[in-house]
Structure 1
């Protein structure tokens, strides 16, 4: 089943599945049986002839799913071992019934051992599920470490044990799964923060009640789907000229930091801005023009040049290689005073952290370190709950906030979008400079703030995914993205043209 575009908290799913099952006329035990069957189907799809399966069951409903799966494995004649962290008399409700059915089918359980047999080639993690709040307890943590040290492939039931289903934070230690099968509604913690290191390939099964659940629970976190991008993108008219596609102004590039503003301006031009201008240190002129002769350069020293360019611009980007010296502070003040749509990154954010202000016409793009400075907390606190952090940043600074990282988040104060694209090759210098260039280009072309942020983030990551198909992740440079950014924006624009749909405010995400 395709992944849905909506994500929920663990509480929403727990409460919603009871109501959804009631509406559908299905018992909760029947749902548990369907969950165990869904995992069994994934196991047979990816590992059709396993030698020996180890099922690790906890004491709650996640463990009950594991017992249902174990019964199916037993009936299929697959060599099976079941470890349980709880005695049978500690099980209650549907989990106990699933255990009884497993035993009735001829199954046996044992306590977790100190070693996992060498011939085990698939391990099922049905230990903790979505209810975990605090750190994993010592005995279970030892079992998780044992699982992670073994060579077997791991399938996690609903959520890898040790991963917070709401935030994606690791609660001490976490099962590193090759596959995770999520039920009813995908938990928001599976798509950001540390989750990508632990969930493996994410699968979804609605257990036959997804329609009822979706009707009952309102999502506030969404993926950036192809349909969202196509709806929001602006199709170019055949009669367009450069004046129809905006004037983008990028401000940055102090002495020795020219590469940042070069990358930003190149990305801006390649994303379709009609005109691209840069205010930068004179030392960057030659390098900038040799990389992109279409960009206009002016010295950022001189109030008349600065004011004239701000007046000229349709949208402004501040920060790449800016520095935090006296000229940078003056530029920061002048751009903060402007009512033009703007996007701040890098040193623009460092200056904003020192002189906080609220602006409804601005996008900020912090990585976790910059977010920590803006909120005056630690990076650990940011990563502990990225959803809370992105919402607090938006409330404090206004406009739209992009919290970068694995599973980048975009928040406008009403809802949160998650970028599921991107890869570890993007962990190299200059990627953020390219992103701000794409976003300011979209702003200059007339996109609303949220549209520019969502499209910019997704196109940037999709371009990186296309780039790694050519030569791999290691050694990917920010400049490698340029042709793929152009490719992706044209693909969407062409798709919009085929739909013969003209962009209107009503079609935007705002």
Structure 2
């Protein structure tokens, strides 16, 4: 068996719950591995993680449901008894519903001296809670005694280890179904479930470990993953030192449009991020009263006071791509700027109020990248933000189908969709310290900079999201609270130059 606790070593493939069940069936039916053997391996892996992560734990409470997730819990409980630990096993649901491998594991637990109790209350002397209540097949809200048990576990001071998935979390979307376990760690089996990495998944899972249960590699050949993990390290390994004769004209020219009255900071931050990511030239089209101010603060940015949309034409004629949205506003000025930009054939990055204006007059374009946060995504689809967050994978695909191009849906577990035939990318970089103003403006500048330096739309979006998140992770070493968007700028420069790190 291979237990992986370092997320940077995870395989890239992410699966839906039904796909993992198919992998499980393939291991059993095609490769002849008994289901009970897989259950034993899952319990072994979980108990090994317990001994490694919580070596001082002596009193363990295991919460089990009547399904196979509970079966894994019975194995953990038996191994804990055999190791001399004090174990309390609490069963939710009807014990008469135990079937197959789960029933066999329950019987082995009893034979080892274990006692199965119906759930009542949690013992406050326990050192660790193991969640084996509900698995990946959950499709309806958790209610009744199940809800009572999950809430009680969350209130308990002991850490929680979730088996396969935190109970109550939807395996495909990452939404919470009524209520869900908030685990300190989750050990998942055979394949990574995509709901662990976006929506509420990161908040419920804690640190994630993966064990493949020693299934043969051929098992994975039977299923095409619907999503894949994106990591900055993968992109960093593709970066090479610049050719010694390179000049600025070969590094691309990005035009940034935005900064209506009162919002000069947004367009300036986008411009600085573009420069720090390596663009050769960055021009800014903004309100006239902002141009001189930005130029005095960051003279490397070529700022132009633009009041009429026609004045954008000579700027676009010199640019390789346009990024529009930071501080754009929704006044007639912003509308006019967007209208002029949309007449250009240049590759575009559209963010912020550029997206809000686009929602009012939808269009399709093959050569743009749209970068909505959940609120902007809701406006693009004409629905509520809660609906976006309930199914982020579905939302990013729908936006891409409606508007074409490449779509990047921001949030914990940023998603990138480049088309219906491509797996959705999931960025696993970033942290809660990035929940502050200006972070999206940096991302716009980063993606635009990568575009003008020659990246494809898909690569610019995926690489940009990972660079942005990785820079945030480095900045967070000084603390997540109080992190400013501009704190990321020196980290962006360090990351984009891995050869000097």
**Is TM more than 0.5 here?**
yes
In the TM superposition, residue 304 of structure 1 has moved relative to its aligned partner by 4.5
The residue that corresponds to 1:420 in the other structure is 428
Partner SS, residue 235 of structure 2: helix
After superposition, the C-alpha distances for 1:447-477 in whole angstroms (9 at most, x for unaligned) are: 11011001110000000100111x2100000
Match of 1:334 among 340, 344, 366: 340
The residue that corresponds to 1:17 in the other structure is 24
Q: For the Cα contact (< 8 Å) 1:298–1:305, is it kept in 2?
A: no
In the TM superposition, residue 395 of structure 1 has moved relative to its aligned partner by 0.8
Partner SS, residue 174 of structure 1: coil
Match of 1:33 among 30, 40, 44: 40
**Is 1:349 the counterpart of 2:352 in the alignment?**
no
Task: Decide which moves more: 6-15 or 24-33.
Answer: 24-33
Structure 1 CA distance, aligned partners of 2:116 and 2:183?
23
In the TM superposition, residue 196 of structure 1 has moved relative to its aligned partner by 1.2
**Is 1:447 the counterpart of 2:459 in the alignment?**
no
**Is 1:52 the counterpart of 2:48 in the alignment?**
no
The residue that corresponds to 2:226 in the other structure is 220
Task: Decide which moves more: 16-25 or 293-302.
Answer: 16-25
Structure 2 CA distance, aligned partners of 1:137 and 1:324?
44
In the TM superposition, residue 25 of structure 1 has moved relative to its aligned partner by 2.6
In the TM superposition, residue 374 of structure 1 has moved relative to its aligned partner by 0.2
Match of 2:76 among 47, 66, 69: 69
Task: Decide which moves more: 177-186 or 89-98.
Answer: 89-98
Q: For the Cα contact (< 8 Å) 1:36–1:68, is it kept in 2?
A: yes
**Is 1:476 the counterpart of 2:500 in the alignment?**
no
Structure 2 CA distance, aligned partners of 1:144 and 1:4?
30
Structure 1 CA distance, aligned partners of 2:83 and 2:325?
61
**Is 1:288 the counterpart of 2:294 in the alignment?**
yes
The residue that corresponds to 1:244 in the other structure is 250
Distance change (3 Å), C-alpha of 1:87 and 1:350: closer
In the TM superposition, residue 211 of structure 1 has moved relative to its aligned partner by 1.7
Q: For the Cα contact (< 8 Å) 1:350–1:370, is it kept in 2?
A: yes
Task: Decide which moves more: 39-48 or 216-225.
Answer: 216-225
**Is 1:430 the counterpart of 2:444 in the alignment?**
no
Aligned pairs, how many?
492
The residue that corresponds to 1:95 in the other structure is 102
After superposition, the C-alpha distances for 1:211-239 in whole angstroms (9 at most, x for unaligned) are: 23321111121111356414654752221
Task: Decide which moves more: 363-372 or 137-146.
Answer: 137-146
Partner SS, residue 496 of structure 2: helix
Structure 2 CA distance, aligned partners of 1:494 and 1:439?
22
After superposition, the C-alpha distances for 1:290-325 in whole angstroms (9 at most, x for unaligned) are: 331111111222344310111111010000001111
Task: Decide which moves more: 48-57 or 172-181.
Answer: 48-57
The residue that corresponds to 1:506 in the other structure is none
Q: For the Cα contact (< 8 Å) 1:345–1:436, is it kept in 2?
A: yes
Partner SS, residue 17 of structure 1: helix
Match of 2:365 among 346, 359, 366: 359
Distance change (3 Å), C-alpha of 1:449 and 1:231: farther
Partner SS, residue 417 of structure 1: strand
The residue that corresponds to 1:378 in the other structure is 384
Partner SS, residue 453 of structure 1: helix
- Which ranges of structure 1 fall in alignment gaps of 5 or more residues? 496-510
Partner SS, residue 61 of structure 2: strand
